[in-house]
Amino acid sequence: MRLKRHILRFIIILLFLILIPVFLANAGHGGSVTEIGRISTDGLVGFNLWIVNLFNDHRLLFTLFAIIVISIEGILFGYITEYFLKLFGIKTSKMEHKE
């Protein structure tokens, strides 16, 4: 049984190693990276204008900002979910796996 698991894991990893370069090679659709356009700022004010300007002028900072925001959202969703699960009486402590 353990051998089957190891073979299955090996096959899955091998498929990923074969398919990921294929997907990455076809991701650009033949265009260069410089063809990424700028977003128009017409009619934008405040925070939306700041985000669009950050995207247009500083892609690396925009990427870091997006990663930080998504991380904070994930943490908040986790705490909110844990709170509601505790209201329903579901224990959310660490799970112990017994094999």
pLDDT tens by residue, 3-38: 777 788 888 888 888 877 767 666 655 555 555 678
Mean pLDDT of the chain: 81
Residue 96 pLDDT > 70, yes or no? yes
Q: Could you tell me the two tokens for 25? A: 């090679």
Residue 26's pLDDT is what? 62
Closest among 78, 75, 41 to 56, alpha carbons compared: 41
Residue 8's pLDDT is 84
The residue with greater pLDDT, 35 or 1, is 1
